[in-house]
Structure 1
Amino acid sequence: MIMSTAPHNNATLTHGGLLAKNVIYNLLGMLLPLVVAMMTIPRLVKGLGTERFGVLALSWVVLGYFGVFDFGLGRVITKMIGEKLGKHQGSDVASIAWTGLFFLGMLGLVMAALLYMIAPLLVFRILKISAVLQQESLSAFRVLSLSVIFVILTVGLRATQEAYQKFAILNVIRTLNGILIYLAPLLLLPFTRIISHYVWALTGVRLVIMLINGAACAVQFPTIRRRPIIDLQLAKPMFRLGGWMSISNLIGPIMVYFDRFLMGAWISVAAVAFYVTPYEVIIKLLVITSAVVQVLFPAFSVSTSTENQKTALLYSRGIRILNLAFFPVVLAVILFSRTGLALWLTPEFAEKSTGVAQWLAIGIFLNAPGQIAYSLLQAGGRPDLTAKVHVFETPAYLAALYFGVKYGGITGAAIAWTLRLLVETFVLFYLAEKMIPHAIEKQREYKLFTLAATILFAALTFFSLTMVQSVLLFIVILLAALVWFGLAL
């Protein structure tokens, strides 16, 4: 992936073998952090206590959330570079990369200042944090503001590499980041329980990851080592395209993360721990979705302008792969989460968090094929459609979340989150059909399977089964699903 004037073959960047290999790289890069998370979270909960761990969990949320304040520029960089490569205009790539990084740096400074200023409001007015932890938490959130700059710049450095399908080195770095985010707090546990110290460690991790990504770009792309090429004429097309993407990027994480801030304000920070603990494991199932989507987005960016049949094929295969991958995993979570949580943590956690784990898993199942449609629309130059979907669904979701938390507690929040994803996914399916009518017939089959599986999963959450019954039911349902795939798909 060298920035040069040498032509790049479209077929190479969308070749099935390359895409499959990169999906495998992504999976490997995401699975090891999942193992580390499962090993470290119980020790952190025990060592820090429920409330301190709740604050640490919110710090993880902030680190994940502020990455989306790139105003869509990360995906814009990937899309614009992908288009240039598709048109054999590699000489323009350096200016796109540097200009994108310049704008991201400016945005990072603004977002860091914003978080620093609102930290007292979060700690003293919004979140229900005990008085003894408030000053400690305030220091933690202010330290987090520094990390925002590193997080946002990293988005641009990764986007440049993703455009060239360089997922091997990206996933080495991703694995390192995923491990250190959990391992750094664990290493501090014998020495301190002051939460700001843990956030300093997380900030140091994000700085190191940013520098490593920068070094990777410098090594792989010789032209990036030269004098920065900042072309302000790119501002208009970048922000026009990124403006729509930023709406989805800003609203999407609000709908993903707002639930736990609401629980922290309405119930307690301790309730956040009972929600976030299964969430931190269940959400790691998205490694499967991300592994596929991150590879398909740059491929869609290359193919949508000239190869409609190729785009339809990539789209259909992506949905089928994710349906096949997620069905047995989510089924296992539904049937075995109570036993698993009791063994992994405590019976108390199992009692309070099983419903959360089950409904979040159903939401992840729905989200997976929806993300394929979402990426296709954005790569195809229609980020306005995904933005409008998010704008229209936000009020309905917030209302559902309000009633979910009020009447169902943390499980009600998980149900509201999943219902939102149900509606969103099927709307995205409809919009994607308009872009690639070649895939409509297969779409009907995928939609029917997704809906039927969702109804089945939801029904299973109401049953309390023995281990033997769960195992037998798992085998029977899995065999039936395989028959469905074999006959219908």
Structure 2
Amino acid sequence: MKKNNEQPNFSKTTPSCNPHDGHSERLNANLVRGSLWSIGGQAAPLVASMIATPFVIRLLGTESYGVLALINVLIGYLGFADIGMSSASTKFGAEANARGDTEEEVAVIWTALVINSIPVLLAAFLLAIMSRTIVEQLLDLPQSLQEPTILALRISSLGFVARSISGVLNTPQLVRFRVDLYNSITASYNVAQISLVPVVLLLGLGLPGAVLLISFINFLMAVNMALISNKLLPFLRKPTLSIVLVKPLITYGSAILLIVLISTVLTGTEKIVLVRFASVKALAYYSVAFTIAKLLNVLPGALSQSLFPAFSRLQVNTEKKSLKTMYSQCCRGLLLCLFLSATFICFFAQPFLTTWAGAEYGRESIIPLYILVMGCFFEGMSYVPSFLLQAVGKPYMITYIQAAEILPYLLMTALLSSSFGAVGAAVAWSLRAIVESLVIFGLAARVLASYSSTIVDRSYKVP
């Protein structure tokens, strides 16, 4: 294995970064095409899940299905163990690709993969050896479910490792805007996983069999991701590590990890507070409204798969115009799409809620929904400046903003929820989202205003 202790070579350039050769136009086309593929990649598993879930619930039974959902939650929390290497690999890989530096791109991927593997393998190992303790001492499960759950947790740790590795191996696809390949792989394997679980249950393999299938499909997806990435970047088959990349990758990834952790707290805390200060029924009204309002973020989320690598490529350009132009175009396009989507949701919300969930929800959830739509509108708009800040190496700005929000937000949520129930929780969440969005837009404007031609940090130190 080659270890590169030299400073990265920044002398290699590519004419593709010249904004005057049509590169920006190609990026815009790739951005639109990638977003459409991302929407399709999210829609296919969603449809499959809507079809398969009723069968899984009946075949597993309520308690075992609850255990399966719990395992998914635990694995979701373990996802923090990758310390943000998927985003870090995409950012630094996109910059190397924009310069035409293939060796550097390979070094970024392999170095990020090694950094990622250490905490991920440790987390998987701890889950495997502590599964009995978790089941017997932390979870209040019936005796008949304890052994199957212990086995399922141990199996799921293997699938977790495979999925984490895939998050780094997809870098060549994302930086080349081959979102079609990325979404084809992830969507097909996710649909296969969702569709085959009922078959496994029909064969009598129970909860451990279902988790084994999920883990095996995650392993196959990682292998397929590696094969496709190797075709796009043939030199990837030759492992290359760069010592000088370790610090910037960890620094950047840690900032992304903090954003994810704090966002998790800010996104879900109001639900817990609402139960504490109002009632479970108020939470039900709020949850239905929140689920529908969050549909506004599907488009910004799909856009992000292409937007982040696009910004990362453009920010190494010596010309300011390309990055500023794409930023402006994305903001304007997203503004129009979100406005139309929000108007559509608000117009049809009450008849839909009444038909889908019942007259009670049509009556009690509609006001929280209107309020949450406003908050989700601003949250969706903030995706563009957020990814700009991350692409130019300033994710810590977002971390500071969100960390400063936690205490005021919790106090505001408790006060409003105790007085106004679901409506109060919706007001608290939306006010936080609006303020956060406006501050992030202000910071992004400052970054663009002070943007200089010496963008690239030649020592690979993240500011």
Give the TM-score taking structure 2 as reference length.
0.77
Distance, in Å, in 2 between the alignment partners of 1:267 and 1:191 is 44
Could you say if the C-alpha distance between residues 289 and 117 of structure 1 is closer, same or farther in structure 2, counting changes exceeding 3 Å? farther
CA deviation after TM superposition for structure 1 residue 421, in Å = 2.0
Q: Does 1:247 pair with 2:258?
A: yes
Does residue 179 of structure 2 align to residue 158 of structure 1?
no
Return the alpha-carbon distance in structure 2 between the equivalents of residues 204 and 355 of structure 1: 44
8 Å contact from structure 1 (residues 22, 165) kept in 2 = yes
Q: Partner residue of 1:70?
A: 82
Task: Report if aligned partners of 1:48, 1:193 keep a CA contact under 8 Å in 2.
Answer: no
Residue 109 in 1 paired to residue 116 in 2? no
CA contact (8 A) 1:173 1:213 kept: yes
Distance 1:59 1:352, change over 3 A: farther
**RMSD of aligned C-alpha atoms?**
4.2
Amino acid at match of 1:85: N
- Alignment match of 2:219 (pick from 183, 207, 212): 207
Asked if the contact 1:108–1:149 (Cα under 8 Å) also holds between the matched residues in 2, the reply is yes
* Structure 2 residues without counterparts, runs of 5 or longer: 1-11, 452-463
Q: 1:216 to 1:284 in 2, by over 3 A?
A: farther
State TM-score, norm by structure 1.
Answer: 0.73
Counterpart check, 1:291 vs 2:331: no
Following superposition, the deviation at residue 382 of structure 1 comes to 0.8
Counterpart for residue 16 of structure 2:
9
Q: Is the 8 Å Cα contact of residues 74 and 156 (structure 1) preserved in structure 2?
A: yes
- In the TM superposition, what is the alpha-carbon distance from 1:197 to its structure 2 partner? 4.5
Query: Which residue in the other structure is 2:321 paired with?
Result: 309
Looking at structure 1, the residues matched to 358 and 150 of structure 2 have their Cα atoms a distance apart, in angstroms, of 30
- In structure 2, C-alpha distance between the alignment counterparts of 1:270 and 1:185, rounded to whole Å: 32
Matches within 5 A, 1:1-400: 7=14, 9-10=16-17, 11=19, 12=23, 15-41=27-53, 44=56, 53-116=65-128, 140-180=152-192, 182-188=194-200, 190=202, 195-226=207-238, 228-257=239-268, 283=294, 285-305=296-316, 306-337=318-349, 339-340=351-352, 343-344=355-356, 361-400=373-412
| Residue segments in structure 1 that go unaligned for 5+ positions in a row | 440-489
The count of corresponding residues between Structure 1 and Structure 2 is: 434
Aligned partner of 1:454 in structure 2 is none
* More divergent stretch after superposition (380-389 vs 31-40): 31-40
Q: Give 1:274 shift.
A: 8.5
Asked if structure 1 preserves the Cα contact closer than 8 Å seen for 2:106 and 2:236, the reply is yes
Is the contact made by 1:79 and 1:298 (CA closer than 8 Å) also made in structure 2? yes
Code of the aligned partner of 1:286:
N
Partner residue in 2 for 1:461: none
**Cα offset, 1:132, TM superposition:** 7.4
Structure 1 CA distance for aligned equivalents of residues 363 and 53 of structure 2 = 18
Return the alpha-carbon distance in structure 1 between the equivalents of residues 229 and 390 of structure 2.
25
Q: Which amino acid aligns with 2:307?
A: L
SS in 2 for 1:69: helix
Q: Is the 8 A contact 2:417 2:425 kept in 1?
A: yes
**Sequence identity percentage:** 25
Taking structure 1 as reference, are residues 424 and 340 closer, same or farther at Cα in structure 2, changes over 3 Å only? same
Distance in structure 1 (CA, Å) of the matches to 2:361 and 2:136:
28
Structure 1: distance between partners of 2:172 and 2:375: 30
Cα distance in 2 between the residues matched to 1:369 and 1:317: 12
CA distance in 1, matches of 2:410, 2:196: 34
Distance in 1 (CA, whole Å) between partners of 2:218 and 2:378 is 31
Following TM superposition, by how much is the alpha carbon of 1:349 offset from its aligned partner in structure 2, in angstroms?
Answer: 7.6
**Closer, same or farther: CA 126–426 of 1 in aligned 2, 3 Å:** farther
SS class of match (2:225): helix
**Paired residues of 2:278 and 2:418 also in contact (CA < 8 A):** no
Check 1:29–1:263 CA distance in 2 against 1; reply closer, same or farther (3 A cut): same
* Structure 2: distance between partners of 1:273 and 1:139: 33
For the structure 1 residues 119 and 52, does the alpha-carbon distance in structure 2 shift closer, same or farther, using more than 3 Å as the test? Answer: same
Shift of 1:122: 6.7
Residues 18, 362 of structure 1: CA spacing in aligned structure 2 closer, same or farther, 3 A cutoff? same
Report if aligned partners of 2:13, 2:99 keep a CA contact under 8 Å in 1: no
Equivalent-residue separation in structure 2 for 1:345 and 1:50 (angstroms): 21
Pair 1:311–1:66, CA change in 2 (3 A)? farther
Offset at residue 398 of structure 1 (A): 4.1
Separation in structure 2 between the aligned mates of residue 406 and residue 46 of structure 1, nearest angstrom? 38
Q: How far is 1:56 from its partner?
A: 3.9
* Matched ranges for 1:431-442 at <5 A: 431-437=443-449
The structural deviation recorded for 1:57 is 3.9
Question: 1:146 & 1:263 partners in 2: Cα distance?
Answer: 36
